[in-house]
């Protein structure tokens, strides 16, 4: 029961962050989120987060040391990614975050921001994509390519981790139908992707502002 309540609270937090990110990104428009959009986001985040956590738990139960390697690589990758893009853009260092902050203070704030960004992306796609070269520090464009790459790589990673669990599973899972659980988790993650596609294609409150739809991008 406590696990279910914890999952629901996390999903609810992800839902609220999604809505907040949309309102921040399209702050020049009157954003009205319909019930269908709330439902799609809730289903999308529920399947995405629940399956991701389950995959990491199963993998960690048989390969305890390697799960830390997976988590560390994920975290470092998403933590460094905004900084790499910022370095490649050759943009000036952000100075307008807070007037009272020194350059060191600004750097610490940006590191904390990318730290949070990395933690979110380790489990689900972040609704707000950090862009250090932007004055608002958030990407205002809808990058379908980046989202597509994220979900393809994440699906492949989940499949690989489940395969490792299946190969090295112990007698603890003797009475568990491992092939069925394997398929259920992969299908569950695909269901999350499905609801995400439905949301962006039909239920996004600002879909008319997109230069191209997600299906056209795919």
Number of domains in the chain: 1
Q: What is the pLDDT of residue 184?
A: 95
What mean pLDDT do residues 22-47 have?
86
129's torsion region: left (phi>0), alpha (psi -120 to 50) or beta?
beta
Separation CA 139–CA 40 (nearest Å)? 23
As given in the structure block, the two tokens for residue 56 are 């990491």
Q: What is the pLDDT of residue 53?
A: 93
Separation CA 134–CA 141 (nearest Å)? 11
Residue range(s) defining the domain that contains residue 188: 2-217
As given in the structure block, the two tokens for residue 180 are 């069925």
Largest distance between two CA atoms of the chain: 61
Q: Closest by alpha carbon to 94, among 43, 146, 130?
A: 130
> 211: pLDDT confidence band, cut at 50, 70 and 90?
low
Separation CA 50–CA 63 (nearest Å)? 20
- Given a cut of 60, whether residue 217 has pLDDT beyond it is no
Separation CA 202–CA 205 (nearest Å)? 9
- Contact (CB, 8 A) for 217 and 79: no
- Contact (CB, 8 A) for 24 and 129: no
- Given a cut of 90, whether residue 205 has pLDDT beyond it is no
Q: Closest by alpha carbon to 139, among 122, 126, 155, 158?
A: 126
Mapped onto helix, strand or coil, the DSSP state of residue 27 is coil
- Position with higher pLDDT, 105 vs 182: 182
> 204: pLDDT confidence band, cut at 50, 70 and 90?
confident
The count of other CB atoms within 10 Å of the CB of residue 82 is 21
Mean pLDDT of the chain: 86
Supply the pTM of this predicted model: 0.87
- Given a cut of 80, whether residue 192 has pLDDT beyond it is yes
93's torsion region: left (phi>0), alpha (psi -120 to 50) or beta?
beta
| Top mean-pLDDT range of 14-18, 95-99, 203-207, 214-218 | 14-18
């Amino acid at each position: 029961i406590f696990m279910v309540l914890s999952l629901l609270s996390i999903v609810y937090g992800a839902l609220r962050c999604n809505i907040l990110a949309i309102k921040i990104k399209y702050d020049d428009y009157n954003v009205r989120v319909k019930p269908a959009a709330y439902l799609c986001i809730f289903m999308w985040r529920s399947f995405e987060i629940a399956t991701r956590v389950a995959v990491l738990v199963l993998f960690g139960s048989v390969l305890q040391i390697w799960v830390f390697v997976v988590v560390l690589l994920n975290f470092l990758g998403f933590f460094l990614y905004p900084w790499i893009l910022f370095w490649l853009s050759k943009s000036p260092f952000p100075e307008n975050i807070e007037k009272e902050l020194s350059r060191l203070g600004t750097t610490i704030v940006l590191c904390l921001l990318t730290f949070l960004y990395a933690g979110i992306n380790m489990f689900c796609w972040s609704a707000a994509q950090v862009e250090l070269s932007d004055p608002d520090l958030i990407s205002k464009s809808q990058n379908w390519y980046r989202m597509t790459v994220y979900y393809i790589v994440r699906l492949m990673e989940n499949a690989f981790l489940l395969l490792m669990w299946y190969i090295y599973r112990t007698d603890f899972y003797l009475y568990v139908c491992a092939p069925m659980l394997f398929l259920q988790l992969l299908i569950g993650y695909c269901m999350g992707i499905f609801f995400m596609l439905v949301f962006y294609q039909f239920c996004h409150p600002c879909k008319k502002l997109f230069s191209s739809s997600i299906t056209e991008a795919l």
